[in-house]
Structure 1
Amino acid sequence: MNFLKNILSIIGAIVIIGALVVFVKYNLKDKMDKASKLDPKAMSAYMNMFNAVLTTGRSADAMVRRVKIDPDVSTDDVIESMNSIAGDANMLQVGDSRMAEMYDHNGERQRYIRILHYCAPNIAKTFIDYSEAYGAFMPCRILIVEDDNGDRWLMTMAMELMLFGGHTLPPEMMKKAEHVRDTMYKMMDLAAKGDF
């Protein structure tokens, strides 16, 4: 009787191991086939994001690009510079959310928080026509924020996953997406130094 139990246990273990091997093999193959259809830069973009999550422990930090504003550059000059660069690239400032000024209504100092919104309507339409989900990321935003040390920062969404995180975008769309990304990054880099 024990012999029969042992045989049945061995057969059961073999069946379970076989089922696991088949499941892993075909499930992994399916995932690998799908991954091979992504943009060639997708894995690098995801790994960069994952490394940032490992470093900070915060997913939001991994999804933003930040540039420190030179202390000699006024916030008004930063905004003027960004609006000028955006206009030169056919992007419009479509919103301005003043979350917190330097002083509250009682005259007490608080940290500065402001979000500027930019859009190129013709490009926005192209992407929404491609997938409505892109609309959830519009308009492009740049946060101006003062940290606990009094340093000011410009932050925006890191756009590499939008460009490269899925299947390769059609060439005309990729050109437009890169134009938006390059413009947003240029706005931040130059404005942080007071350049136009």
Structure 2
Amino acid sequence: MKTIWNLLALIGLLVVVGTGYGLYKAWPTLSELRPALAKFEPGTFDPKFTEVYLDFAKNLMESMDPGIAMTWSVPVKEGIGVEEVKDSLKSIATERNFLFVGEAPFYKQVEAITGKPYRHISFLSFCDAEVGKMMADYRDAYTGFMPCRIAVVEDKQGKLWLHAMNLDFMIHGGRELPAELKKEAIRVRNVIREMMNRAAVGDF
């Protein structure tokens, strides 16, 4: 019995020492965060704030890659070619009153530099100018999300994928957006998801 008590006492001591050391190491960072924490108002965050970051944490732990965790990725159905996918994306964009801004054929730039063939990687840009204006008027930094981009990528095994930045971080990842802006941002988000999902199966 005495041995068990001694063991428990040792474990308790290690926990105390470990906690103290952790606080010692973290104190400089906590001190830097103090001004921000003083302004912290939980009630101002978007209702889906916690859900978005829990999903991100789950994806990050599974992939161990922040790029994967912050990206929507949709595999393209076998038998559907690059040009068919692009035409589908453009067609659905037109259907949803999205402007096709242009395409950046990244693979051609790589081939021009290296002089060697490269797998297909291109970036298609789309925009809803009215929503873009609302975003820019609300916060200049949001222009960094514009225009909406969908990457058409042939992976190293030759399979086609569609990738796009997860817009949920912009919409739900902080202070709740003004009602009208939030509604339009969610609409844009849903259109991008629809474009990816439909184009991936060859739907026009």
Q: TM-score, with normalisation over the residues of structure 1?
A: 0.79
Please list every run of at least 4 consecutive aligned residues from structure 1 whose deviation after the TM superposition is greater than 3 angstroms: 30-33, 103-109
Aligned to 1:124: 132
Note the alpha carbon deviations across 1:151-193, whole angstroms, 9 max, x for none.
1100001111111111221221111101111111111100010
For residue 137 of structure 1, the aligned residue among 140, 145, 160 is 145
Aligned to 2:90: 83
Matched, 1:149 2:157: yes
- Counterpart-to-counterpart distance in 1, 2:140 and 2:195: 26
For residue 191 of structure 1, the aligned residue among 180, 199, 204 is 199
Report deviation, 1:75: 1.2
- Counterpart-to-counterpart distance in 1, 2:39 and 2:59: 24
For residue 38 of structure 1, the aligned residue among 42, 45, 49 is 45
Q: Give the number of the structure whose alpha-carbon radius of gyration is greater.
A: 1
- Counterpart-to-counterpart distance in 2, 1:112 and 1:58: 22
Structure 1 stretches of 5 or more lacking a match? 1-19
Residue 73 of structure 2 aligns to a residue in which SS? strand
Aligned to 2:9: none
Residue 41 of structure 2 aligns to a residue in which SS? helix
- 2:85 partner letter: V
Aligned residue pairs total 172
- Counterpart-to-counterpart distance in 2, 1:146 and 1:33: 44
Residue 135 of structure 1 aligns to a residue in which SS? helix
- Counterpart-to-counterpart distance in 2, 1:31 and 1:62: 30
Structure 2 stretches of 5 or more lacking a match? 1-26
Matched, 1:114 2:122: yes
Report deviation, 1:32: 9.5
- Counterpart-to-counterpart distance in 1, 2:38 and 2:103: 42
- Counterpart-to-counterpart distance in 2, 1:145 and 1:55: 22
Report deviation, 1:41: 0.4
1:42-121 paired onto structure 2 within 5 Å: 42-100=49-107, 104=111, 109-121=117-129
Report deviation, 1:120: 0.7
- 1:36 partner letter: G
- Counterpart-to-counterpart distance in 1, 2:173 and 2:68: 18
Residue 110 of structure 1 aligns to a residue in which SS? coil
Aligned to 1:165: 173
1:92–1:38 CA distance, 2 compared to 1 (3 A): same
- 2:50 partner letter: M
1:79–1:122 CA distance, 2 compared to 1 (3 A): same
Residue 105 of structure 2 aligns to a residue in which SS? strand
Report deviation, 1:109: 4.3
> Over aligned residues, Cα RMSD in angstroms?
2.6
The structure where helix makes up a greater share of residues is 2
Residue 118 of structure 2 aligns to a residue in which SS? coil
Note the alpha carbon deviations across 1:90-121, whole angstroms, 9 max, x for none.
111112000115x9479954211000001011
